[in-house]
A and B are shown apart, each in its own frame.
Chain A
């Protein structure tokens, strides 16, 4: 069922937020079930929801959280998510209570507690749909983080509140509740929240510690990750602490250390499996929602529903503007009114509210159906109307965009800036953000990493970024190789012809010239295109188009793990990152050899056997662009340099292997390459 829903929704355009599609699917399924048989449709109960459906969603949220921006905005996020949920819950609850007192609406049997409970469940926001839109629109980082943080923490807080209020309801009637109980409730709220986080962190450390030793049994690494996260959830729930916050904290803690410990395949597995699980859960929940929409379990009460809708919006607006007014005083870069409007508008409800409404115990809530109906209406309204229009709204309001692009320069500058700021703060003797962060980092390096990480090699983000870009470049090069090989695989004789006729003598001469001059192994960004298509501009453009698209898809798939919104390829400029080879003696068929050599380079990646020679990489770019740069000339031979480079990159070899299946075409070419590799080597 879920799979079918999936399949459908992947094909539809990405304009509509995910939730919309899922709901529609759910409704369709509901209709089918309702239409075909009158048996009661599959129903969701407390256990299924809380034990199986909710944890994966939360886990994914916590795991893919971008830690640095999160902690930079931590104060604001906590203030907003925590207090926002509380204000909304109590505000809506109280307002609805006053409405219920009005006899005309026929709602006087709904008492205060029930209203408060309803308020708490309806204030559970699920802005995941909005986040996707934000990512598309590349909104500025703090704004993104606020919504993200809210998504992350809101579930936990609302569920805690919900449980407390249910406990109250189960107690006695409203009149018997004393102030002491209320205080106890507040205390419980804090304990439950913090306790959950505490347990989550402990479990995160435990699992990180265990992964330190799992070198030889890497197949169970994903299992450990999932098991411990789930365990943290269960343990927290057993102790009446907040399982959601526990699992969030566990994911956040775990991620940093586990990522360094596990093997590449495990890492990929974890990423994809997590995403899959959470998508499945969400789909199921939405389907349940759709199913229960279509049915006879409704009670429609105009007043209640309308006022709920109105109050939701009003209270959200109040909480946004009030809370941000306060937190802006403490922020160096306050949120503008535009930002606040967007935050207000992104209060999209979702599966969370529905589940909590559905799980209201009927015995305590004789008018449960009304609540469910109201919840459903709110969800539909916010998802369809707000969810769909938030994108255009963002563009209309011209919200400040982020302009992050992944480049080495930027990474370098940011690091420099960090150290510079820390240094200046030290000089001034002031404590501040960066001091705290620095101190934490030092503590981390000195103690935590030694304990939790397998081979304690502190990785620099600059180096990892560099390696990542290198890897991307390598993949792209192979992609082009792939592309040209597939496009030319049809007429094999034309390949041969094209291989030789496209080289004009002056091209070769200039190429050789450039290569001999440029001894230094420099990297250059040049325009990328299918290197075999020189002449006809149109087909080159086509090839470029295809290339760009494939690069985009590849980058998307590589970036699935990234939850940062930036990272869309610079499609407009179409710049790629290529490397020049050490100059090798060139001949008429140099280009073909170069191409073959490139395959061997990447075969090396796949085959995993380090070569001990330097060899030419993709040289043919030069002949078109002919740009070489003389930054420095290194007279000594570069074999050693290349050696070291490859040894240091050995661990990144593995990254290529998951994608190896895409290059099954390589195997075909392998044989002929080994043959040509011989003469290539001899030429050296």
Chain B
């Protein structure tokens, strides 16, 4: 089980510039309807999100305690602006001026976010069922794909993952699921840093640690 300390002094996560904070604050107000907190229902105000196949997972990610650094599991009922910023900061592009260690740290944080999206029951492992769930959701926008295909794709992916992580397995060995370390292994070499960022959340340097 992973433990999140309440507020890790993370270098990359809280650096959002003041204009962006303004912008996000305005957006927060818009979504929450002038309330100080947002609930899950408020996300219905985002029309384009309806068409997103992994909508539920995205919304859940906002309320996931692990992402909010409030605990190892569980779901919050409502989030305030600070939490909103916390989640947004996962999508900050990695600054090239950061050194190796910081880059590594940021990368891990982003990957952890992704891991939490897959691992819906917070047990620290992505099991086959959870993986299947993800694949089914991803393909849910496509009515022509049968469930069978989705399942076999998930199985195939799981196999691949297992072979990367564990290599050759004994006949008796059962592969429990993908742990975070395995997850890191799968993503090794693929630059998540270049992929997981939202364009406008750019720039600097105003460290804003509450």
Q: Which residues of A contact B (CB under 8 A)?
A: 332-334, 403-404, 407-410, 412-417, 419-430, 432-433, 435, 438, 442, 457-458, 460, 462-463, 466, 469, 510, 513-514, 522-527, 575, 577, 625-632, 641, 644-645, 648
Contacts and interface: CB of A to CB of B under 8 A. Distances in A.
Given A332-B202, A408-B153, A423-B49, A463 B145 contact: yes
Contacts of B189: 403
B197 interface: yes
B142 A427 contact: no
Nearest to B55: A423
Contact of A409 (B31, B54, B88, B161): B161
A435 to B, nearest CB: 8
Given A427-B49, A510-B171, A645 B190 contact: no
Looking at chain B, what size class is its interface with the partner chain?
35 or more
A572 to B, nearest CB: 13
Contacts of B157: 408-409, 412
Contacts of B195: 414, 417
24 contacts: A333-B93, A404-B190, A409-B160, A412-B134, A416-B134, A417-B114, A417-B196, A419-B58, A420-B54, A420-B117, A423-B49, A424-B198, A427-B31, A427-B43, A433-B199, A460-B138, A522-B159, A525-B159, A629-B173, A631-B155, A631-B158, A632-B128, A644-B148, A645-B149
B46 interface: yes
B7 interface: no
A313 B144 CA distance: 55
A460 B139 contact: yes
Contacts of B187: 413
Contacts of B46: 426-427, 429
A425 B169 contact: no
- CB-based closest 9 A-B pairs: A423-B58, A525-B163, A403-B189, A426-B48, A432-B199, A408-B157, A631-B128, A644-B148, A627-B169
B101 interface: no
A460 B24 CA distance: 33
A526 B163 CA distance: 8
Contacts of A463: 139, 142, 145, 149, 153
Given A416-B54, A462-B135, A514-B171, 5 more contacts: A414-B195, A425-B198, A460-B145, A629-B173, A629-B175
A556 B164 CA distance: 24
Contacts of A469: 156
Contact of B159 (A423, A426, A524): A524
A457 B149 CA distance: 15
A15 B171 CA distance: 45
B69 to A, nearest CB: 18
Of residues A426, A428, A514, A627, which shows the largest number of chain B Cβ atoms within 10 Å of its Cβ? A428
A629 B159 contact: yes
B174 interface: yes
A420 B58 contact: yes
Contacts of B174: 629-631
Contacts of B55: 423
A458 B144 contact: yes
Contacts of A626: 170-171
A648 to B, nearest CB: 6
Contacts of B198: 421, 424-425, 428, 430, 432
Contacts of A427: 27, 31, 43, 46, 49, 58, 62
Nearest to B118: A416
A522 B187 CA distance: 23
B51 interface: yes
B205 interface: no
Contacts of B153: 408, 412, 462-463, 466
Contacts of A460: 138-139, 142, 145
Interface in B107-166: 114, 117, 128, 134-135, 138-139, 142, 144-146, 148-149, 152-153, 155-164
Contact of B117 (A416, A577, A627, A628): A416
A631 B175 contact: yes
Contacts of B145: 460, 463
B144 A426 contact: no
Interface in B19-56: 23-24, 27, 30-31, 43, 46, 48-49, 51-55
B114 A426 contact: no
A117 to B, nearest CB: 42
Contacts of B202: 332
A409 B163 CA distance: 12
Contacts of B88: 424, 428
A458 B174 CA distance: 36
A621 to B, nearest CB: 11
A416 B158 contact: no
Contact of B160 (A420, A433, A525, A631): A525
A433 B195 CA distance: 12
Of residues B114, B144, B159, B170, which shows the largest number of chain A Cβ atoms within 10 Å of its Cβ? B159
Contact of A332 (B48, B52, B93): B93
Of residues A414, A442, A525, A644, which shows the largest number of chain B Cβ atoms within 10 Å of its Cβ? A525
A412 B159 contact: no
B91 interface: yes
Interface string B163-198: 110001111011100000000001101110011111
B161 A432 contact: no
A523 B169 CA distance: 13
Contacts of B139: 460, 462-463
A577 B157 CA distance: 11
A627 B160 CA distance: 14
A410 B114 contact: no
Contacts of A625: 168
A481 to B, nearest CB: 22
B51 A442 contact: yes
A489 B194 CA distance: 52
Contacts of B49: 423, 426-427
A577 B53 CA distance: 29
A408 B156 contact: yes
Contacts of B156: 408, 466, 469, 523, 577
Nearest to A626: B171
Contacts of A527: 168
Of residues B23, B62, B199, which shows the largest number of chain A Cβ atoms within 10 Å of its Cβ? B199
A641 B158 CA distance: 18
A627 B171 contact: yes
A645 B134 contact: no
Nearest to A648: B149
Contact of A419 (B43, B54, B93): B54
B184 to A, nearest CB: 13
Interface in B53-77: 53-55, 58, 62
Of residues B46, B51, B156, which shows the largest number of chain A Cβ atoms within 10 Å of its Cβ? B156
Given A408-B160, A627-B171, A416 B114 contact: yes
